[in-house]
Structure 1
């Protein structure tokens, strides 16, 4: 049966609908926002444009142009974001069918592929133009999992692992691609002021608010940076005074009672000068023993650090800056009933470390037509430590001066440089003792280097360089390198790097296993400088889709060959640490990749993975290096709930098994660690002007290294070995009280002892 609509009724209904629509339009004005988004004069395609707190938005086209229509009357906050740029905000009021036309300029951010880097070539270049692969991380990256020090923050960087070397005092070093801490050079503003004795302390107490970015180079960089840049380097770049916030503060506390405060401020000291000030304070004084061994699971710390940087604006934008930092820390760990009056005694075991260091660095661009830069730095590190009854007193002073001439000639981008490094080291261990008694170690190392980047075309460039260092102990040392870059499209880059590295003898003897009294340090021979040869193949790919999605791939294959390697030998004799040059070879090889994805809806994903094989071969026998994982992974997943001004972050890492330092064949602890992971979540609310509030949970899986082990610290019930019986060779004898024949040793460690815990904090920035 068919239904026939009466024509009169149809006309009446149509008239009513049209009338209602007209009335609706009359009382609900529809407005329009249109415009163009630029980076300088260059359009920014596929930028996201939306009205904060609503679902109204659009994206720019290939010409950077956008249009948003049918916007109801009201006051809105326009939000413009794009990968590689700082987010743009603008408040607007719309009414009466208004058409608002905007010209929006975005500023580049430090979380992008186009950021400026200096670490790879000692001169500022765009990351895509650098022939040396440089990874860059901004403070925003580390804010996804807030920590009280850069040392801990690096746990979320692929291929980089903070290694804790002591269950009691929690000191450690930084591993890059599985290589030991002494092979990692740490710089601040390009100056090597963190070295040897000061690594873990130098990476603490730098306010996050004063950091512009952290640049990481994996592989030898001795051609530019000299000794210790054997396995890689970490360069902490502080902010320029003109770019810093007028005032900033960041404070958080954890469920364990940790408290951290960062404060930064910028002060105008004249019409052409500014002063950047920073303060970091960290305190933890709540002893916790969750694993039940009567030892603190986390070292108690009271730390304060002051930082200041003064910059002068000069003619032709020439550089002149002076910075300084003072650091003091009191940390202790040990038996739960330990108090300061037991320091150095044999009643209650404790490890107490007083650290004081100060640093100064400056840069001055000479007033010539040519670009000539003078850079200087100096640091003084004093440490007063007690490990049970063993005292470790040490002083280290490092002075550094460098003059570079940056010259462009035809297709050649040249860099000439000369440097001198002064290293003073003195402690009360065998490292500085000789036939005549204790004698400080003083070394001057002058250097000359030259670098030439030849740009054959827009797609092809070749970087060559060589460095000459003279050490009176070892004579002349040459370190060449070569790098080739093929930029076959604007979004595809292939880099091939080959270079050498070296590390002169600078035996760092804050070796916890020795200082606890469990082992004795033995220097078996006159040590020769370590040498390395590295080849690295890197591929960088960027993909931009029409809907604003971004995908970036950064993948590398690496191979490093070492000779004359100085490794502490724990295996020959469980009572000794024997230092000598390896009679054989050491090899680090593997592949590494980072995948970076960002979607218009507010989802960002960063995934990293590294597969590696680090081994030592001597007398034809190859063995995996101790405390080195075969694979690792990191991730950071963030989602912005824009209408709620809320961001969710899920971060974590995954590590494969590591060979661990056992005390003998009877030691019941696991020889290899299991695969383990630390995972964290965080919620950040930014709906209040100039404020951010964040809350989260660390170590969601509640992973600690005692799981699956009968104990972590050997002989924790007898830390002074009072009930241990020894044979004539000094080896512990199994007894009823000591069935495994062990001595006290807290060096069996591969993961933090902190379990699951909550945290909350607040940030404030006044620009």
Structure 2
């Protein structure tokens, strides 16, 4: 296949020209920036007045691709703050997302790590971003949430349901956007931690340090004017895995050693007559991981001990900038931003059978992307205001994979090129209504044109007691192009009697997503949130197990568009400020799915989930955070109608602040010691047993 970048730009250019022409000649006046600042201030004040004093109203960007107060966003956004991440000692993205009550995590099949499921959509239907730029799907299909460390995270923003209008293909089930910390004053930190899993430590020593973690970072200005700033951070996590019986070869959990190093530079130029508030940045990171899996393979009447050793290296480079543009001396201001990304993912995996090399697999995945966005001056027509935004993106993905030096793809390397354009209008109507409309045009070299629209409506009012109530509703179109692995991969297990073949003729998955919600303060110290959703999905891509082709005694299966499905459900949550020292959060989430082709539920989707969390400040220096989790049983095999059991877990964190710079902490995770039965292949309860840990953190500033 040719590697020439072939994206049709004529429709993109024509659309951009049309949008700019219509906008510039619109029969309305541009709003004064001081009006906008006043509006933002009043919105922030309104948002803060609707929350207890201990609940912050952070600024989010994922809802509208612009900065908005969380409670003011026209679509629901779940936020995990850096304080929550630090207080709960979440070191990976997977551990951070466990703090959300309405998402589901499961192990990546055949890999060390986890993927996410939201509203019934799997990990390959959810887009994961860092500052608006995608993370490479490490399996070729889904993002491994273990492969990102949290040391530089300011907050994590999660939008559930179809977000293709804002973020394109792969955002059919929602978006997870990691917002990194801005570089501020000079400061540094060191965080270290030790943990043990008792009698499941592979060393055989119950009090051995089975898990070791250390992270450090330093940042600050490099010049007296503080225009050039830099940050360097590093994180190391070494987990020896778990072994339920040290006398047996297999291990229930893989050993994993992870390292991440990130450097970032930012530069603030002097304001010019035409350009103000400019910002330039560049970031480079290196992620490395070494995993060891031990398991048994049954061949005829023999059981052969197997060991898989995988080495992963991921290099990521991104650059970007933003500026306000003043075309003349009046108050009209355009905001322009642009970003570019290159990420290279390498995996080398060796499988040994009876200590003899049986196979060697090498994978290389790359992503190259550039995007630009222009926010136009606000159009003020009295009681109405329009905030218009237009942007475009080009992306190229490549995949190559060999086993024993022979390609496992239909060709040696496969690629995908795509160009996209999006347009958004945020329409503010009076003091109470807001309508957000967006549309995204995608031009794929293999699948041609596609348009994904979305409309969201928000209504807010203040009652006689001064409490704010917010109602939201949205409908959007979801869209996912088959990934390169689904189209071209050859999964050859001829020694076990089967193959799974990619299918270049696959068609994109599509969905229509409906979301409704309410958020408000129903008491001086009590917040309530209620949300519901319905997703109608067509052309789901699955392995066709019913129509295998037999060649030389080998069953050959193929990916195909065979399924349609729907998912619906919702969640209800309360946030109660019990007193000045304690906050209680309780959430119940419900999910119902149906595979209409099989007339059955979709697999790996629990129907019920409960989370109860208490943040209790025992004293000025001592903080207790217990968290109770419940997941109901889930269907694992449709044909056999086998289910994984329901489960409860209880985690508890105790944080001791010695002074402003030094703190100690301890935790017991999975206090109930809930763990799957390794003899039951349908048991998908937590893989980790009870864990005890201690740690320390030192901050210098």
Does TM, scored on the shorter chain, surpass 0.5? yes
Task: Tell me: CA distance 1:123–1:696, structure 2 relative to 1, closer, same or farther (3 Å).
Answer: same
Task: Provide, for residues 300-323 of structure 1, a one-character-per-residue CA deviation record: whole Å limited to 9, x for no partner.
Answer: 112111012211123332221111
Q: Does 1:320 align with 2:261?
A: no
Note closer, same or farther for the CA distance 1:290–1:198 as it changes in structure 2 (3 Å cut).
farther
- Taking structure 1 as reference, are residues 594 and 198 closer, same or farther at Cα in structure 2, changes over 3 Å only? farther
| Partner of residue 587 from structure 1, selected from 562, 566, 584 | 566
Distance 1:702 1:431, change over 3 A: farther
Shift of 1:702: 0.9
Structure-2 residue corresponding to 1:154: 97
User: Does structure 2 retain, via aligned residues, the 8 Å contact 1:159–1:178?
Assistant: no
The C-alpha deviation readout for 1:136-193, integer Å capped at 9, x for no partner, is 1112223343243111331231221221134x74333111123211011100011113
1:261 alignment partner, one of 211, 214, 223: 214
- For residues 512-531 of structure 1, the aligned pairs below 5 Å read 520-523=499-502, 526-531=505-510
Match of 1:138 in 2: 81
390, 402, 405: which is aligned to 1:428?
402
Give a deviation string over 1:552-589, Cα, whole Å, max 9, x none: 22221001111111123567779968443443421111
Question: What whole-Å deviation, never above 9, does each CA across 1:599-650 have from its counterpart, x for those lacking one?
Answer: 33411112222111122111xx41111111111122221211125x211111
Could you say which residue in structure 2 is the equivalent of 1:697? 668
C-alpha distance in 2 between matches for 1:355 and 1:642: 44
1:600 is the counterpart of 2:579: yes
**Closer/same/farther in 2, CA of residues 539 and 511 from structure 1, 3 Å limit:** farther
Secondary structure, counterpart of 1:403 in structure 2: strand
Question: Which of 373, 385, 402 lines up with 2:349 in the alignment?
Answer: 385
Distance 1:284-1:135 versus aligned 2 partners, 3 A rule:
same
**Per the alignment, in what secondary structure is the counterpart of residue 627 of structure 1?**
coil
Is the contact made by 2:136 and 2:345 (CA closer than 8 Å) also made in structure 1?
no
Aligned pair in 2 of structure 1 residues 515, 409: CA closer, same or farther (>3 Å)?
farther
Q: Does 1:164 align with 2:107?
A: yes
Asked if 1:221 corresponds to 2:197, the answer is no
Shift of 1:594: 2.5
CA drift at 1:280 = 0.7
Counterparts of 1:109-508 in structure 2, within 5 Å, are 112=56, 114-166=57-109, 169-195=111-137, 197=139, 203-204=145-146, 206-242=148-184, 246-256=187-197, 257-270=210-223, 271=225, 272-285=227-240, 288-290=243-245, 294-314=249-269, 315=271, 316-335=276-295, 348-366=305-323, 368-369=325-326, 370-387=334-351, 389-407=358-376, 408-410=378-380, 411-428=385-402, 438-489=411-462, 491-508=468-485
The SS at the match of 2:634 is: coil
Is 1:675 equivalent to 2:646 in the alignment?
yes
Cα distance in structure 1, aligned partners of 2:257 and 2:631: 30
In the alignment, the residues of structure 1 paired with residue 491 and residue 648 of structure 2 have an alpha-carbon distance, to the nearest angstrom, of 26
Residue correspondence of structure 1 range 551-570 to structure 2 within 5 A: 551-569=526-544
Q: What pairs up with 1:648-687 in 2 under 5 angstroms?
A: 648-661=624-637, 671-687=642-658
Do 2:408 and 2:490's aligned partners in 1 also have CA atoms closer than 8 Å?
Answer: no
Partner Cα separation in structure 2 for residue 42 and residue 472 of structure 1: 43
Instruction: Give how far 1:512 is off.
Output: 13
> Which residue is 1:731 aligned to?
none
Tell me whether 1:622 sits opposite 2:622 in the alignment.
no
Q: How far off its partner does 1:198 sit?
A: 7.1
Q: 1:474 to 1:525 in 2, by over 3 A?
A: closer
TM-score by length of 1: 0.73
Which residue in 2 is equivalent to 1:756? 690
Deviations 1:201-228 (A, max 9, x none): 7644645342110000001111111110
Distance 1:433 1:196 in 2: 16
Alignment RMSD (CA, Å)? 3.3
Asked if 2 retains the 8 angstrom alpha-carbon contact of 1:193 and 1:359, the reply is no
When structure 1 is superposed on structure 2, of 284-293 and 187-196 the one drifting more is 284-293
Hey, what's the Cα distance between the residues in 2 that align with 1:641 and 1:696?
16
- Asked if 2 retains the 8 angstrom alpha-carbon contact of 1:332 and 1:352, the reply is yes
Deviation digits for residues 732-761 of structure 1, max 9, x if unmatched?
A: xxxxxxxxxxxxxxxx56233221121111
The one of 498, 517, 526 aligned to 1:538: 517
Change beyond 3 A, Cα 1:541–1:605: same
Give, in whole Å, the separation in 2 of the partners of 1:749 and 1:571: 25
The 5 Å alignment of 1:721-760 reads 748=682, 750-760=684-694
Contact residue 467 and residue 480 of structure 1 kept, 8 A: yes
Runs of at least 5 residues in structure 1 that lack an aligned partner in the other structure: 1-38, 48-61, 63-80, 85-111, 338-345, 714-747
In the alignment, what sits opposite 2:331? none
C-alpha separation between the residues in 1 aligned to 2:122 and 2:490?
15
SS of aligned partner of 1:278: strand
Cα distance in 2 between the residues matched to 1:352 and 1:534: 41
Gap runs ≥5 in structure 2? 1-39, 198-209, 298-302, 327-333, 353-357
Aligned pairs for 1:99-118 (under 5 A) are: 112=56, 114-118=57-61
SS of residue matched to 2:124: helix
CA distance, structure 2, for counterparts of residue 144 and residue 241 of structure 1:
21
Question: Alpha carbons of 1:291 and 1:634: their partners in 2 closer, same or farther (altered >3 Å)?
Answer: farther
CA 1:292–1:452 in structure 2 vs 1: closer, same or farther (change >3 Å)? farther
TM-score by length of 2: 0.80
Report the Cα offset of residue 677 of structure 1.
Answer: 2.0
CA separation of 1:493 and 1:299: change in aligned 2, threshold 3 A? same
Give SS of 2:243's match: coil
Tell me, what secondary structure is at the counterpart of 2:64?
Answer: coil
| C-alpha distance in 2 between matches for 1:432 and 1:473 | 22
**Equivalent-residue separation in structure 1 for 2:617 and 2:519 (angstroms):** 27
How far apart are 1:699 and its partner, in Å? 0.8
Question: Which structure has the larger Rg over C-alpha atoms?
Answer: 1
Inter-partner Cα distance in structure 1 for 2:611 and 2:246: 27
Contact 1:165 1:512 survives alignment (8 Å): no
Alpha-carbon distance between aligned partners in 1 of 2:246 and 2:142, rounded to the nearest angstrom: 25
Partner of 2:84, secondary structure, is helix
Deviations 1:703-759 (A, max 9, x none): 1110xx7x146xxxxxxxxxxxxxxxxxxxxxxxxxxxxxxxxxx562332211211
In structure 2, the CA distance between the partners of 1:759 and 1:375, relative to structure 1 (3 Å rule), is: same
* SS state at 2:635 partner: coil
* CA pair 433-210 structure 1, distance change in 2 beyond 3 A: closer
Contact kept in structure 1, 2:241 and 2:251, CA below 8 Å: no
Between stretches 439-448 and 310-319, larger displacement belongs to 310-319
CA distance in structure 2 between the partners assigned to 1:511 and 1:697 by the alignment:
42
